[in-house]
């Protein structure tokens, strides 16, 4: 299944407890590095697993790139926090 086919839901409280510390750390990073990529992938993985429990982290990593990860992260932020970027 392609990432474009997955439904993205707003984060619930359980997901927010996982994601908020990652978002805080992500905001502090200034350049693209391995840690930033890991944080972005973790946030997207938590969000997509809400409606796609069969998704594996390995499958997600194979499909993520800089373009679709930015679009997915923006969608997650908009749905969960009302933040548009």
pTM recorded for the entire structure: 0.92
How many structural domains does the chain have? 1
Residue 13 corresponds to which tokens in the numbers above? 């409280």
- Upper half-sphere CA count for residue 68 (Cβ side, 13 Å): 14
DSSP percent split of the chain into helix, strand, coil, nearest 5? 70, 0, 30
Q: Which domain holds residue 16?
A: 3-81
Mean pLDDT of the chain: 94
pLDDT digits (tens, 9 = 90+) for 60-75: 999 999 999 999 999 9
């Amino acid at each position: 299944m392609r990432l474009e086919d997955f439904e993205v839901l707003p984060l619930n409280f359980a997901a927010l407890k996982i994601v908020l510390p990652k978002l805080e750390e992500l905001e502090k990073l200034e350049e693209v590095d391995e840690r930033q990529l890991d944080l972005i992938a973790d946030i997207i993985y938590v969000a997509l697993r809400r409606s796609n429990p069969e998704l594996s982290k390995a499958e997600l990593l194979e499909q993520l790139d800089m373009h679709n990860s930015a679009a997915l992260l923006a969608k997650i932020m908009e749905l969960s926090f009302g933040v548009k970027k």
